Amino acid sequence: MRLGGEAIRRAFLDMRSRYGPQSWWPAETRLEVLVGAVLTQGTRWRNVELAISRLRAADVMSLDGLMALPLDCLAELIRPSGYFNVKARRLANLCKFIQQRNGEAGLEALDTPALRRALLSVNGIGPETADDILLYAFERPVFVVDNYTRRLFRRLGWIVGDEPYDDLRGAVELAVGGDTALFNELHALVVFHGKHVCRPNPRCQGCCLASRCPGRGDGRNSLSSGRT
């Protein structure tokens, strides 16, 4: 791994100046961030928005409201997010966990490593979901690693691409320092860049990172739309 703080910050500034502030996480409450972090697993965000709007319309977007729902009703409400039966069970697990930990305030009282460990103990919460929650619900200075990150960082020559999740997260955090606002925007910008520019078939022409990217032009159809 060759992850330098200066290179990461420069890429961050280049993307921010090209794409503008991303203002994540799009949610009205902290509970919505928690729910959205589960619902977004393996699906597009617009499907999550649909599911969340159905939960709001049913007036169950609260811990009590979600816990009072029979599992099949919860699954039906979140159907647009895909894998709805699995996600309903995961949401139920998460709600029970929050209640057992004395609510959001109880979780807020934990330090970051303890909160990560606690979140990872919930069935259905993996490292990426836990870090989404840590960063966007509890404003902790953690770097979220996803497939967009691995693809971009590999093309930039910073990583091989198959590094263990925590090694990669830890290396970025060490390189950049504990900067919650930067991690918030950086992850959002990496996702935007990965969806629209550094796609499986990258659109290198005009890419704001191209001048320092050894991977530019990989995928010979650099102007093709490719798939996300």
Residues binding ligand SF4 (CB under 6 A) = 152, 155, 197-198, 202-204, 207, 209-210, 213, 215-216, 218
Q: At residue 29, what are phi and psi to the nearest 5 degrees?
A: -140, 165
In the complex with ligand SF4, the residue whose CB is nearer, 54 or 154, is 154
Helical H segments across the chain, by residue range:
5-19, 30-39, 45-57, 63-68, 71-77, 84-100, 103-108, 112-120, 127-132, 147-155, 165-176, 180-196
3-class DSSP state of 107: helix
Q: How far apart are CA 52 and CA 47, in angstroms?
A: 9
Q: How far apart are CA 70 and CA 14, in angstroms?
A: 47
Q: How far is the CB of 27 from ligand SF4 (least distance, A)?
A: 29
Q: How far is the CB of 215 from ligand SF4 (least distance, A)?
A: 4
Q: How far is the CB of 213 from ligand SF4 (least distance, A)?
A: 3
3-class DSSP state of 154: helix
In the complex with ligand SF4, the residue whose CB is nearer, 107 or 204, is 204
Q: How far is the CB of 37 from ligand SF4 (least distance, A)?
A: 26
In the complex with ligand SF4, the residue whose CB is nearer, 87 or 203, is 203
In the complex with ligand SF4, the residue whose CB is nearer, 87 or 216, is 216
Q: How far is the CB of 22 from ligand SF4 (least distance, A)?
A: 17
In the complex with ligand SF4, the residue whose CB is nearer, 8 or 213, is 213
Radius of gyration of the chain (CA): 18
